[in-house]
Amino acid sequence: MAPRVFWKGYLKLSLVTCRVTMTPAVTESRKIRFHNVNRRTGNRVQSDYVDAATGKPVDDDDQRRGYEYEDGKFVLFTDDELAEVALESTRTIDIAKFVDIDSIDWIWFDSPHYLAPADKVSQEAFSVIREAMSKTGTAAMSRIVLYRREHPLLILPRDRGMIAWTLRYGDEVRAVDQVDAAPSGKKPAPKMLGMMTDLIESHRQEWSPDLVKDPVEKKLRSIINARKKSGKTKSEPAKKPDTRPRGDNVIDIMSALKRSLESEKKGGKSKS
């Protein structure tokens, strides 16, 4: 099934404007999804929004978004009020500036979307913007309202189209010095570094989507299909986790490297 276009609007650069569509570049529609089920009746369990104090259900018309500024005290907003705070136009990607593609750290990237011209009239302007970005090695910066929230947007040329990445905000990315890391002052011994380099090279592969297949999803589908065929659709008793001690994880790095390389050499010989 072809992916569904979920956003239509305009791409604008100065006085150049073209109609565009946006489609999510990733999907979770094929993932197995679970529901809460009453094991006694086999019926789905339904959840309702209730008042935390009274325990009574709350009608949709009485539900509001609230910011808790003190314990138990909220500033309330309607969806319309939140929409007014967003961009003046939620249907125009107005390119504000360009940055070098190589200057953007991957940690800022959030969700990818395919950007494409919406009609034949828009193809020429769209193509000129894309090719010029590709030639100059730049990406376009803009903003967009998606999922009821304004996001920074980074647009990159890709093949015959473009990729529009929503970005994380500046205060969402922690600085490296906020995280405990290994001391960087002492350099590893040349021999040890060379052995580690050889070990990395022995595992090097060309990138392929097969490298990121979901093994859990495969196992779940196998279990589901087996239970459907056998008619035993109810859950089995859970196995107790293995809590036996694993021993000390402290190892001699040099010794471990030597054994790893020897193992790789033996494995290479057996494959040939």
pTM metric for this prediction? 0.65
**DSSP structure string for 19-57:** EEEEEES---TTS-----B-TTT-PBPP---B-TTT--B
Is 239 or 248 the better-scoring residue by pLDDT? 239
Rounded (5°) CA angle 133-157-137: 40
pLDDT at 272: 46
For residue 44, pLDDT over 60 is answered with yes
Give CA–CA dist 203/265, Å, rounded: 12
Is 39 or 156 the better-scoring residue by pLDDT? 156
Strand partners, 251: none
Average pLDDT over residues 250-259: 76
pLDDT digits (tens, 9 = 90+) for 95-128: 989 999 989 888 889 999 999 999 999 999 999 9
pLDDT at 229: 81
Give the confidence band of 137 by pLDDT, cuts at 50, 70, 90: very high
pLDDT at 179: 66
